Amino acid sequence: MGTRSDALFWIWFGAGLLLLSGVSLCIGAASLFSGDMGASWLIAVSRFPRTAAALLAGMGLALAGVVVQQTVQNRLVEPSMTGTPESAMLGLLAITLLMPGAPMMAKMAVGTLAALAGTAGFLMLATRVPRQDPMLLPLVGMIYGGIIGAVGLWIAWSTDLMQVLGIWRVGEFSGIIQGRYEMLWVVAVLAVLLYGVADRITLLGLGETQARSLGLNYKQTRALGLVIVAAITALVIVTVGTLPFVGLVAPNIVSRWRGDDLRANLPIIAVGGAGMVLAADVIGRLVRYPYEIPAATVFSVFGAGVFLWLLYAAPARSSHG
């Protein structure tokens, strides 16, 4: 894609994202243009935080998907298929039970550590899965995540925390207000960090032997990538809940459109994931207005369709190796 085409893309995409953000800000604030101060307050306290949270969550999960796919060399895998969200929820359940009054940062730290441990467990399984059929690894990941999720479900049922677990399991933004989403700005910091190591993340996709031959510290780079994935996943779950398929859809669409230049693609993947999650939230708010459908439900329908298309269209491309 040439410089002129890139410029046109960013102009059109930026305009579309601004329009979508404007719609998100104005839903439920119809009196905004009448000078009603209540509408302005609603936008500042509720609508802007909600819009920002959707954008940040989508951006983070899309980038996390890239890291996971490069690490396991399989385009059909994303964080929700590696047991990462379920592990984070297990950690959050543990600290809720042991330290119910713990500050949000402590819960975030425990969730991140649990997510990191769960992802490491998936990687150990991944080394034993044959790579000939790219579908085997996502299936193993879903089974692995299902087992961890079942453990969490049993603990929540036994301790009367089903309602809390239910909030984490379905991503939606209706409860986002000022003061309850600001931790998601850490996702922006992690996105900048990921862009800085984009070339090293690209080498992960070549496999350990080739990456080492090119001078990459493979274990260190993989560990850094997994910490970023775990932190993003825990942040999103603590704040808005689980949003499946975001890390699968955005990277695959961009890769099929622009190729595999990860450094050039990362900004597009980030804004693509952000825009798609915000669109899912807006659709969920408008389909049965004034009632809402969770953004995770709306995106799951779209994401499942894309997943099936990826399987049907070109399964051979789903593996790097």
CATH number for the domain harbouring residue 120: 1.10.3470.10
Residue 150 lies in a domain: yes
Confidence (pTM): 0.85
> Given the structure tokens 């915000």, which residue do they identify?
278
169 lies in a domain? Answer: yes
Identify the pLDDT of residue 157: 92
- Residue 280 included in any domain: yes
Residue 99 lies in a domain: yes
Asked if 49 and 176 count as a contact pair (C-beta separation under 8 A), the reply is: yes
321 in any annotated domain: no
Q: How far is CA 277 from CA 24, 237, 280, in A?
A: 12, 14, 5
Per-residue pLDDT of the chain (321 residues), as tens digits, is 456 666 777 787 778 888 888 888 877 665 455 455 556 767 778 888 989 999 999 999 999 999 898 888 888 888 888 889 999 999 999 999 988 888 888 888 898 899 999 998 998 888 888 877 778 888 899 999 999 999 999 999 999 888 888 888 888 888 888 888 888 899 899 988 888 888 888 888 777 788 888 787 888 888 888 888 888 998 999 888 889 899 888 898 888 887 777 788 888 899 999 999 999 999 998 888 778 899 999 999 888 888 888 777 654 444 444
- Does 237 map to a domain? yes
Kindly state the tokens that stand for 270. Answer: 């980030």
Task: Read off the DSSP letter of residue 47.
Answer: I
Closest to 173 in 3D by CA, of 12, 45, 50, 22:
50
Question: Number of structural domains, the chain?
Answer: 1
Structural domain range at position 83: 49-316
Query: Is position 148 within any domain?
Result: yes
